[in-house]
C-alpha cells in the first residue's frame, strides 16, 4: 500500500545504508555490507547507547553516528536501514523507516505479534519502500538446491518432516532485561530461536494448514515457554513435527524431509555449508536423484552475508527484498498458531488467527498461558 503523500525513492546505483542498534548481531550486517562496496555504502549508524555506538563506529569506520534514529532518517535519507535492535523496537522502527521512504531489513523476529507485522506490511509501498526479515537459513546453497529440486519434481512429493531446534541457553542468558518476556521478546524459543528452522521448513514445504502444539516452562526462570513441540500439516499433504528448545545440553539444529524419492537431511547448529546436507535416495531412484543433487546449486554457506547480498541486489533492481512481508507473515502465523494451540489445547488453522482475535494481537493471547 502506498502511504499518501510519500514519495518513492529512486534506487540509486549504490545503496545508501544505515545500521540501527550496534550490539551483538550488528557486526554480521556490517561485515556483509563492507564486503560489497560497489553495491552498498554504509554511511551511518544509530544507537541509544553512546558507548556501543562509539566502539562500533570506530571499529568499522562508519562516518556518521546518531543517538536518535529519527534524526538519522531525516539527515541521512538512507535507501536501506538494517534494524539490529531488540524485538520490541522493531514494529515502530520499521514503520518509521517506511514513512521516511527507506526500506528496512529487520532482524528476526520481525515484531512481537501478527498484528504488528501486518501493520508493517500495510505501510509498504507497491513500488517500495519495503521491509524484509533477516531469516538467513533460506539463503545457503543447500536450502536453495533442495527447493529447486523439489520444485522441479526430482524428489517426488514431500511426505513427512522433522524440524528440531535443540539449543542450550543458561539462566544468565535470560537475565538480559529484554529476553524471555512477552512484552519485549514476544515469546521464548518458539519466537526467538526455533523460528529460524521453522522459517526454513516453510520455505521448503510452503503453506501450513493446521498445527497442534504443547508449550511448557520446564527449567528456566522466565515469563515465556522454554520448550515447545508441535505437529504441523501442510497444503501439499506433508506432515511435520517441530521441537523448539533452549534446554538441550547436546545442541543440534536438524531438519529432515522424507520425499517419495529421497530423504533430505540438514544437521548443523547456527549455520550450515553444503557438507551439512545429505541425501539418501529411495530404492530405484539412486541414479536420477544423485545426478540431480550433484548438478544443483553449491558453494554458499547460510548466513547474514548470503541474505544481505540478495536484499541489496533486489533493492537495486527495485524489487521487494527477501524475506518478504508475505513470507514473514506466514512464519509468524505459525509461531502464533503454536502459542494459540498450546494455550487452548486444540488444533489451530491459519484462518483463525485474524485481526481482532487474541493470538493475532499478542503471542500469549493476553493472558498467562502457562
Among 11, 17, 19, 20, binds ligand NAD (CB under 6 A): 20
DSSP 20-74: E--SSTHHHHHHHHHT-TTTEEEEEEE-S-HHHHHHHHHHHT-SEEES-HHHHHH
Among 30, 62, 89, 363, binds ligand NAD (CB under 6 A): 89
* Contact flag: residue 23 with ligand NAD (CB under 6 A): yes
* Contact flag: residue 25 with ligand NAD (CB under 6 A): yes
Q: How far is the CB of 146 from ligand NAD (least distance, A)?
A: 20
For residues 27-64, one letter each, b for 16 or more C-beta atoms within 10 angstroms of the residue's C-beta and e for the rest, the string is bbbbebbeebeebbbbbbbbbeeeebbeebbeebebee
For the packed helices 26-34 and 50-60, what is the interaxial angle rounded to 10 degrees?
20
Size of the site for ligand NAD (CB under 6 A): 22
Nearer to ligand NAD, 48 or 162 (CB): 48
Nearer to ligand NAD, 46 or 264 (CB): 46
- Pick the stretch among 42-50, 156-164, 209-217, 291-299 that binds ligand NAD (CB under 6 A): 42-50
| Angstrom distance (rounded) from CA 140 to CA 299 | 8
List the one residue out of 3, 196, 199, 191 whose CA is nearest residue 97.
Answer: 3
Q: How far is the CB of 84 from ligand NAD (least distance, A)?
A: 5
* Contact flag: residue 48 with ligand NAD (CB under 6 A): yes
Burial class (CB in 10 A: 0-12, 13-18, 19+), 107: buried
- Pick the stretch among 5-13, 84-92, 147-155, 310-318 that binds ligand NAD (CB under 6 A): 84-92
Among 47, 79, 116, 154, binds ligand NAD (CB under 6 A): 47
Backbone phi, then psi, for 321, in 5-degree steps?
A: -75, 150
CB count, 10 Å around CB of 24? Answer: 9
- Identify whether the C-beta of residue 102 lies closer than 8 Å to the C-beta of residue 78: yes
Among 96, 132, 134, 340, binds ligand NAD (CB under 6 A): 134
Q: Vertex 182, ends 255 and 347: CA angle to 5°?
A: 55
Q: How far is the CB of 124 from ligand NAD (least distance, A)?
A: 20
**Segment 160 to 219, residues that bind ligand NAD, using CB under 6 A:** 192
Among 18, 69, 72, 73, binds ligand NAD (CB under 6 A): 69
Task: Specify the 3-state DSSP secondary structure of 120.
Answer: helix
- Pick the stretch among 81-89, 121-129, 161-169, 336-344 that binds ligand NAD (CB under 6 A): 81-89
| Angstrom distance (rounded) from CA 151 to CA 342 | 33
Among 12, 35, 37, 49, binds ligand NAD (CB under 6 A): 49
For the packed helices 26-34 and 304-316, what is the interaxial angle rounded to 10 degrees?
60
Nearer to ligand NAD, 90 or 261 (CB): 90
Give residues in contact with ligand NAD (CB under 6 A).
Answer: 20-25, 46-49, 52, 69, 84-87, 89, 107-108, 134, 136, 192
Amino acid at each position: 500500500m502506498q502511504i499518501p503523500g510519500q514519495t518513492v525513492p529512486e534506487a540509486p546505483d549504490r545503496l545508501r545504508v544505515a545500521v540501527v542498534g550496534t550490539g551483538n548481531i550488528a557486526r554480521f550486517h556490517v561485515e556483509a555490507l563492507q564486503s560489497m562496496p560497489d553495491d552498498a555504502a554504509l554511511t551511518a549508524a544509530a544507537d541509544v547507547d553512546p558507548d556501543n555506538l562509539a566502539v562500533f563506529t570506530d571499529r568499522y569506520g562508519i562516518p556518521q553516528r546518531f543517538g536518535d534514529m529519527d534524526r538519522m532518517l531525516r539527515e541521512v535519507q538512507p535507501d536501506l536501514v538494517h534494524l539490529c535492535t531488540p524485538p520490541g523496537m522493531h514494529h515502530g522502527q520499521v514503520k518509521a523507516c517506511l514513512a521516511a521512504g527507506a526500506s528496512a531489513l529487520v532482524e528476526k523476529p520481525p515484531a512481537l505479534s501478527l498484528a504488528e507485522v501486518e501493520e508493517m506490511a500495510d505501510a509498504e509501498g507497491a513500488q517500495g519502500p519495503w521491509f524484509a526479515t533477516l531469516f538467513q537459513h533460506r539463503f545457503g546453497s543447500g536450502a536453495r538446491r533442495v527447493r529447486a529440486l523439489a520444485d522441479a519434481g526430482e524428489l517426488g512429493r514431500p511426505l513427512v518432516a522433522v524440524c528440531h531446534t535443540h539449543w542450550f541457553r543458561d539462566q544468565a542468558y535470560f537475565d538480559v532485561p529484554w529476553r524471555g518476556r512477552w512484552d519485549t521478546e514476544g515469546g521464548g524459543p518458539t519466537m526467538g530461536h526455533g523460528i529460524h528452522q521453522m522459517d526454513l521448513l516453510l520455505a521448503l514445504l510452503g503453506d501450513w494448514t493446521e498445527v497442534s502444539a504443547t508449550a511448557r516452562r520446564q527449567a528456566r526462570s522466565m515469563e515465556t515457554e522454554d520448550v515447545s513441540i508441535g505437529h504441523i500439516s501442510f497444503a501439499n499433504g506433508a506432515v511435520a513435527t517441530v521441537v523448539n528448545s533452549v534446554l538441550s545440553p547436546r545442541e543440534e539444529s536438524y531438519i529432515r524431509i522424507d520425499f517419495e524419492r529421497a530423504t533430505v537431511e540438514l544437521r548443523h547448529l547456527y549455520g550450515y555449508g553444503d557438507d551439512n546436507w545429505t541425501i539418501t535416495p529411495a530404492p530405484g531412484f539412486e541414479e536420477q536423484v544423485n545426478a540431480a543433487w550433484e548438478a544443483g546449486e553449491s558453494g554458499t554457506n547460510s548466513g547474514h552475508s548470503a541474505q544481505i547480498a540478495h536484499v541489496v541486489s533486489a533493492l537495486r533492481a527495485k524489487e521487494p527484498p527477501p524475506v518478504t512481508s508475505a513470507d514473514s507473515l506466514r512464519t509468524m502465523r505459525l509461531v502464533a498458531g503454536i502459542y494459540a494451540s498450546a494455550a487452548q489445547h486444540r488444533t489451530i488453522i491459519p484462518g483463525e488467527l485474524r485481526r481482532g482475535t487474541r493470538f493475532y494481537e499478542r503471542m500469549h493471547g493476553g493472558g498467562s498461558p502457562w
